[in-house]
Amino acid sequence: MAFTKKIFILVLSLPVVLGLVAPQKRALCPDGVNSAANAQCCSLFQVREDLMNNLFENECGDASHGALRLIFHDSVGIDPVVGGGGADGSILTFNATELTFPANAGIDDVLDDVGPFALKWAHVLSPGDFVQFAGVLSLAACPGAPKVKFMMGRPPPTAASPPNLVPQPFDPVPTILARFGSIGIEPQEVVALLASHSTAGADDIDPNLQGLPFDISPSTFDTQIFIDVQLRGTGFPGSGGNQGEVETAVQGTLRLQSDHLLARDSATNCFWQSFANNQELMMSQFAAAAFKMGLLGHNEADLIDCSDVIPQPPPFAGSPSFPPGQTITDVEQACSTAAFPDLPTQPGPPLVVPPIPQADDDDS
């Protein structure tokens, strides 16, 4: 009997011995409620609750969209020739300089929202860590978003980003790909990062309109952006003729020139199309590319993995489809190696997508 018991214990321990199951050791945090794989991450739970409840208000809205946008505008500020600190939070610390960059138009509104929280938690998170944490955390309110890893320990920024490092929506595709390529971001990763436009909107393209969504479902992190942008454009949400804007296919949405061109350029069009009906592929590739952006200017080995503080976003409950009134005949086929997927059409009359409510409007 004793021998049988020993065999039973041996069998239970074999997966650990063979490396099939990693033993999980977690530190109970001082609050007595949360636990983390690394005790140094415990201080983040209070920040998480504050941001989710008081900044994002547990919604995939304007404040969460802005926090996600801030990741990219901060991280891309690095170049092998002119320098820069990458994902260092310089856009917070040296905002007086970086807000003068034309590509950062509208970021002042984002900083108005997140700035007070960055100051409040400056004893916990460096500026670079705060930008990444807030951006990654913002996805937790967006159905369909992936969980992106978060690393802590970035040192404070020492200088503003050099100018002209953030791509503009009117830049040609070769210019955009060259800019990202200089910092190690491949064309497929560039397209994957644009999944962020599924929960984004334009505040500064049309001077008379704010909160213009880029696709028909701006509160859901889905593949709709890769469908809507491939449709033939028929009009503008406003006056039209604005730099960085081309005709869109659905009333109320705005189409960026850069998105339009990346969906049709031979260097990227098949990558773009591959995400149209593949939520899992889009999620996994966005998560990997966003994490890579967050490491620009840093060595991962020097940072602490606090990913377990980030909640799992709600799952995507829908399915890829054309907007009401649109079919495969409205697609401008670009990829030469595969046909665009023939998706079902959503029922109902043609949409007029409403603007995204602005965070400052919510406070009034």
How far apart (Å, rounded) are the C-alpha atoms in residues 242 and 263?
A: 20
How far apart (Å, rounded) are the C-alpha atoms in residues 164 and 220?
A: 31
Q: Where do we find the tokens 């946008």?
A: 69
Q: Which pLDDT band, with edges at 50, 70 and 90, does 19 fall under?
A: very low
Tally Cβ neighbours within 10 Å of residue 28. 12
- What is the mean predicted confidence (pLDDT) over 351-361? 88
Q: Which residue intervals of the chain are DSSP H helices?
A: 2-17, 44-50, 62-75, 90-93, 95-98, 107-120, 127-138, 173-181, 187-193, 224-228, 257-262, 269-274, 279-294, 359-362
Tally Cβ neighbours within 10 Å of residue 2. 6
Q: Which pLDDT band, with edges at 50, 70 and 90, does 38 fall under?
A: very high
Q: Which pLDDT band, with edges at 50, 70 and 90, does 9 fall under?
A: very low
Residues with Cβ within 8 Å of residue 14, at least 6 apart in sequence: none
Whether the pLDDT of residue 46 is over 50: the answer is yes
- Give the DSSP per-residue string, 320-341: --BPTT--GGGB----SSSPPP
Question: Number of C-alpha atoms within 13 angstroms, CB side, residue 103?
Answer: 21
- Phi, psi angle pair for 304, to nearest 5°: -105, 130
Among residues 65, 73, 260, 298, the one annotated as catalytic is 73
**Per-residue pLDDT, 161:** 98
Q: Which pLDDT band, with edges at 50, 70 and 90, does 16 fall under?
A: very low
pLDDT by residue (tens digit) across 66-105?
999 999 999 999 999 999 999 999 999 999 999 999 999 9
pLDDT by residue (tens digit) across 289-323?
999 999 999 999 999 999 999 999 999 999 999 99
How far apart (Å, rounded) are the C-alpha atoms in residues 129 and 150?
A: 9
- CA 20 to chain CA centroid, nearest Å: 32
Q: Which residues are annotated as a binding site?
A: 74, 86, 88, 90, 197-198, 215, 222
How far apart (Å, rounded) are the C-alpha atoms in residues 64 and 220?
A: 12
**Per-residue pLDDT, 25:** 82
Does domain 36-330 correspond to CATH entry 1.10.520.10?
yes
Tokens of 263: 């969906």
Using the 8-state DSSP alphabet, how is residue 242 labeled?
-
Q: Which pLDDT band, with edges at 50, 70 and 90, does 359 fall under?
A: confident
The radius of gyration computed from the CA coordinates of the chain, to the nearest angstrom, equals: 22
**Per-residue pLDDT, 72:** 98
Tally Cβ neighbours within 10 Å of residue 301. 6
How far apart (Å, rounded) are the C-alpha atoms in residues 357 and 246?
A: 23
Tokens of 323: 């907007």
Tally Cβ neighbours within 10 Å of residue 3. 7
221 in Cβ contact with 145 (< 8 Å): yes
Q: Which residues are annotated as a binding site for Ca(2+)?
A: 74, 86, 88, 90, 198, 215, 222
Q: Where do we find the tokens 């079902």?
A: 344
123 flagged as catalytic: no
Q: Are strands 212-213 and 151-152 parallel, antiparallel or unpaired?
A: unpaired
Residue 233's nearest CA partner among 245, 244, 242 is 245
Tokens of 125: 């998170």
**Per-residue pLDDT, 360:** 65
Tally Cβ neighbours within 10 Å of residue 277. 18
How far apart (Å, rounded) are the C-alpha atoms in residues 268 and 261?
A: 9
Residue 156 burial (10 A CB sphere; 0-12, 13-18, 19+): middle
pLDDT by residue (tens digit) across 208-219?
999 999 999 999
**Per-residue pLDDT, 7:** 32
Residue 359's nearest CA partner among 211, 207, 198 is 211
| Numbers of helices and strands, H then E, in the chain | 14, 8
